A = this chain, B = another copy of it.
Amino acid sequence: MKYNASHLLLVLDLAGTFVFGMEGAMAAIRHELDFFGVLVLAFTTALVGGVIRDLLIGAVPPASLRDNRYAATAFAAGAAVFVFHHFVVKIPMPVIIGLDAAGLGLFAVAGTEKALEFGISPFIAVLLGTITGVGGGTVRDMFLAQVPSILRSDIYATAALLGAIVLVIARRLGTSATVAAFLGGTFCFVLRMVAVWQHWNLPKVAG
């Protein structure tokens, strides 16, 4: 059972890595980067959030540099998008948004759980879970010399943050790590999808 649970987790983690890697590669192609740039943005979008989390909690070398499968999956996603670009751009937007929301929930709860395991306080663990979910996309936007989209609008990082909070509350209430992660990840996913559907935004200070 232990083996199967951690095996499932690895498969989910690599699936999230592949989805985020595809999105990074698509952003790179939109900005006319070359093949190397496509691979770099695939890697960055998929893995840099977790790398930052691991640096901050002192888990070095970061997990994604210790297990070759993470980088290999991110590069495979980048190369696949590069080669099959004309097919990839035809994937309907709702599918991409759904896969991305699933990856976001997965990364946010995995990051929060790992921070808790390293003895980080729940308050900071929630921040680190959010960074795990959105850090890669943030650095990707910085590479593209753009203000990170998560700072501008949209319920995206907020969904990751609230999913992480749900996980922490569930654990406080005594649920197992697995159930807490499932509840937090699902909350993040559903909130993100509803927010896109309903065009929810966070408030700004009126100009």
Contacts and interface: CB of A to CB of B under 8 A. Distances in A.
Interface of A: 28-29, 31-38, 40-41, 51, 55-58, 60-62, 65-66, 68, 71-72, 82, 85, 118, 120-121, 123-124, 127-128, 138, 142-148, 150-154, 157-158, 161, 201-205, 207
Given A34-B154, A35-B202, A40-B151, 12 more contacts: A28-B151, A35-B203, A36-B150, A36-B157, A36-B158, A51-B56, A55-B55, A55-B60, A56-B61, A58-B61, A138-B143, A142-B145
A204 B56 contact: no
B65 A120 contact: yes
A144 B143 contact: no
Contacts of A41: 151
A66 to B, nearest CB: 8
A158 B60 CA distance: 26
A205 B40 CA distance: 15
B61 A151 contact: no
Main secondary structure of the interface of A (DSSP, over half): helix
Contacts of A202: 34-36
A21 to B, nearest CB: 14
A49 to B, nearest CB: 14
Nearest to A156: B36
